[in-house]
Amino acid sequence: MNIYQYMTGEIPLLLGNVPQFIYLIPLMLVCSLVYGATRHELWGPIYQNSMRTLVWLVCFVGILFGVFLFSSWLV
Amino acid sequence: MSYSSPSSSSEDSICIDLRNPYLAALLAWLCPGAGHLYQRRYGKGVLFMVCILSTYFFGFAIGGGHVVYASWVKNDRRWQYACQVGVGLPALPAIIQNKLERNSEKEPLANGIMAPPSRIDAKKMDELSLWHAQYGAMFEIGTLYTMVAGLLNIVVIFDAYGGPVILNYQVSGSRGPPEKSDE
């Protein structure tokens, strides 16, 4: 088991083993959509706000992942 | 009562009729999106309904129907249920199952779906440990999905009650800031 598999904790899914964080993707999509829709009433601004929130979430989770990966590489 | 604030956005021209905001908030809690459908905000109502209910039921399914349960006993204080109950009616059967199993000591309904685990003992292999062993990471991910669905619905309830957070709209209903006078 390499460090990537250790960090992501591969689990079985319909199409075989996938990293656990694949389950974060629909969750982040839903969160950004609902958040955007509670701040605007029209689809255009909702879409823009959702995209901004999604990018922010992906960056935040990516940075966290990088920090944990780096710290696990140190020890 | 209406409220509007100056802005260059095209959303300024929208007038949102919140109808009865208290009833809308109650409906939004009972069924995600129902409050918006009541207010005739159909697009957002369907969006909230699809997003929140699919998140909730996906998490519920991958956790084997055991990730949503109400329990407040020693060794098993299910604080996650406080978040899950935000989704409303879909999470409420857990309270009935809890009453049946913990208070009446009767058999839970529907093959124990949403029933709290029996025989909670930190030193022995109990039913909760069995669920964790059986579903593995799916139990945690299912719990996370159902919790997030419940928390998202709280934001939706606020939207049904008071309109969008960014107040660039004309909101009509029994709630809202005092009408600004033109000076």
Average pLDDT over residues B63-91: 93
**Would you give the end-to-end CA distance of chain B in angstroms?**
19
CA atoms of B36 and B16, how far apart (whole Å):
11
pLDDT-derived band at B104, boundaries 50, 70, 90: confident
**What would the pLDDT profile of A11-54 be if each residue is shown by its tens digit?**
555 545 667 788 999 999 999 999 999 999 999 999 999 999 99
Report pLDDT for B170. Answer: 60
pLDDT-derived band at B16, boundaries 50, 70, 90: confident
CA atoms of B6 and A28, how far apart (whole Å):
32
Q: Compare CB distances from A34 to B10, B152, B165 and report the shortest one's residue.
A: B152
Distances (CA, A) of B57 to B61, B67, B80: 6, 11, 16
Provide CB contacts within 8 A for B55, sequence distance 6+: A26, A27, A30, B145, B146, B148, B149, B152
CA atoms of A1 and A17, how far apart (whole Å):
13
Average pLDDT over residues B69-81: 90
pLDDT exceeds 80 at position B120: no
Choose the mutation target among A23, A29, A50 for the interface with B, i.e. most B CBs under 10 Å.
Answer: A23
Choose the mutation target among A11, A21, A30 for the interface with B, i.e. most B CBs under 10 Å.
Answer: A30
**What would the pLDDT profile of B129-181 be if each residue is shown by its tens digit?**
888 888 888 899 999 999 999 999 999 999 999 988 875 556 666 555 445 54
Domain boundaries, given as residue ranges, for chain A = 22-74
The whole-angstrom distance between A38's CA and the closest CA on chain B is 5
Burial label, B138 (beta-carbon count in 10 A; 0-12, 13-18, 19+) = buried
ipTM of the complex: 0.81
Asked if the Cβ–Cβ distance from A38 to B58 is below 8 Å, we say: no
Report pLDDT for A4. Answer: 46
pLDDT exceeds 50 at position B70: yes
Q: Compare CB distances from B137 to A20, A34, A35 and report the shortest one's residue.
A: A20
Average pLDDT over residues B104-109: 77
pLDDT exceeds 70 at position B108: yes
